[in-house]
């Protein structure tokens, strides 16, 4: 049975991904901050056919504890076959422009912490000679925009890191998947007006689970049409782009 560690397991997308993978008899190590919600998810996965479910409460702002966390996950799972990094926050741009401490905290949780964790997981998988590392980023990182450039900088930097990690691991039987999310209707985006480009977490989770089952690497735009939307946005000439309010 496949052993997967999910970091940020209480996010709506991670939960839906895990639900799909549970049917395979997958063994889980779930990590998140919310104990009650984590317990509920663990029970649900067990009922859906998971081989086993272990849980751990953790604050991802604690970078110093990440090596011990990965070691615990590896020990409980007898080696990590797959890992999904799904934690992060949606930065409030106006507040981040005014409050540098808040901006730094957002960069920590959206860039610094996931890169450190990804590095540790990649080292573990490289030593084992196999594995798949999937990390949720965002289409916001494809091009800097006035509306969310601090969040976009974190996600863009994370994408560059994953590209470098993928390059490093060529030939080592470890796949690195950069999951570039578009608009998803989750509790984190409840204050946004929804439109036709918005996807539901269950669809996104199934898409991620399918890619992980196939041991895909590279970039995965979810929903798929965001690849073409971002190609257009990234190729708008700067003088014209500066006239927009994206």
**Reported pTM:** 0.96
Class level of CATH domain 3-241: alpha beta
Query: Residue 213 pairs with which residues in a beta bridge?
Result: none
CA quadruple 34, 35, 36, 37: dihedral sign? positive
Give the model confidence (pLDDT) of 55-84 as tens digits.
999 999 999 999 999 999 999 999 999 999
Q: Confirm if 50 and 57 have CB atoms less than 8 A apart.
A: no
Output the pLDDT for position 210: 97
Q: Mean pLDDT per segment of 10 residues, for the chain of length 246 residues?
A: 96 97 96 96 97 97 96 98 97 97 98 98 98 98 96 98 98 97 91 89 97 96 97 96 90
22 burial level (CB within 10 Å; 0-12, 13-18, 19+)? buried
Output the pLDDT for position 192: 83
Q: Confirm if 80 and 30 have CB atoms less than 8 A apart.
A: no
The closest of 47, 45, 55 to 7, measured between CA atoms, is 55
Give the model confidence (pLDDT) of 194-218 as tens digits.
889 999 999 999 999 999 999 999 9
Q: Which helix (H) or strand (E) holds 27?
A: strand 27-32
d(C-alpha 84, C-alpha 135), whole Å: 6
Output the pLDDT for position 62: 94
Domain boundaries, the chain: 3-241
């Amino acid at each position: 049975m496949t052993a997967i560690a999910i970091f940020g397991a209480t996010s709506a997308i991670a939960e839906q991904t895990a639900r799909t993978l549970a049917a395979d008899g997958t063994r889980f190590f779930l990590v998140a901050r919310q104990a009650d919600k984590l317990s509920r998810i663990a029970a649900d996965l067990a009922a859906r056919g998971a081989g086993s479910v272990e849980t751990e409460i953790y604050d991802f702002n604690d970078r110093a504890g990440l090596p011990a966390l990965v070691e615990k996950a590896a020990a409980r799972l007898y080696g990590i076959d797959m890992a999904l990094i799904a934690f992060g926050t949606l930065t409030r741009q106006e507040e981040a422009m005014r409050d540098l401490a808040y901006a730094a905290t957002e960069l920590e949780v959206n860039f610094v912490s996931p890169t450190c964790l990804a590095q540790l997981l990649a080292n573990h998988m490289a030593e084992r000679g196999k594995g798949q590392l999937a990390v949720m980023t965002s289409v916001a990182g494809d091009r800097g925009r006035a509306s969310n450039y601090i969040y976009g900088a974190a996600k863009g930097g994370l994408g560059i890191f994953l590209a470098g990690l993928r390059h490093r691991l060529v030939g080592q039987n470890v796949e690195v998947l950069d999951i570039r999310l578009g608009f998803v209707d989750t509790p984190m985006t409840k204050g946004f007006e929804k439109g036709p480009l918005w996807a539901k977490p269950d669809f996104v989770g199934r898409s991620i689970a399918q890619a992980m089952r196939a041991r895909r690497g590279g970039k995965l735009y979810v929903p798929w049409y965001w690849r073409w939307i971002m190609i257009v946005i990234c190729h708008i000439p700067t003088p014209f782009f500066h006239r927009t309010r994206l």
